[in-house]
Amino acid sequence: MKERRVVIRNRAGIHCRPSAVILNAINDEFPGYSFELAAPAGNARLESLLDILSLELTQGTEAVLKVEGAEPEKALKRIGDLLEHEFDFPPRG
């Protein structure tokens, strides 16, 4: 299992909309992979919206993303980058 440290940068933290973006990327791009996130509020597998929301990922939270799958480095980069992304809903043009 590979790991990457991430820091949540989004001003509103990882709430419902960013969680949905992250889960869609996991399901669409990395089927069959196992994703876990260890945060101060606890550890969770990233399998549902509630899993992510239960971690209370506010701005500045440090967490460790763990991935197991065929191309773990690629998965760590993609999902780690999404966790650190500064989302803006709706996106500004």
Where are the domains positioned within the chain? Answer: 2-84
Q: How many CA atoms lie within 13 A of 15 on its CB side?
A: 10
Give the model's pLDDT for residue 88.
77
CA 63/CA 42 separation, integer angstroms: 10
pLDDT of residue 60: 97
Q: Taking the CB of residue 8, how many other CB atoms lie within 10 A of it?
A: 22
For residue 90, name the pLDDT band (cuts at 50, 70, 90).
Answer: low
Answer whether residue 93 shows pLDDT above 60.
Answer: no
Q: How many whole angstroms separate alpha carbon 75 and alpha carbon 17?
A: 20
Calpha distance 23→40 (Å, rounded)? 21
pLDDT of the residue at 18: 96
CATH number listed for the domain at residues 2-84:
3.30.1340.10
Average pLDDT of the residues of the chain: 95
Q: pLDDT digits over 13-57, tens only?
A: 999 999 999 999 999 999 999 999 999 999 999 999 999 999 999
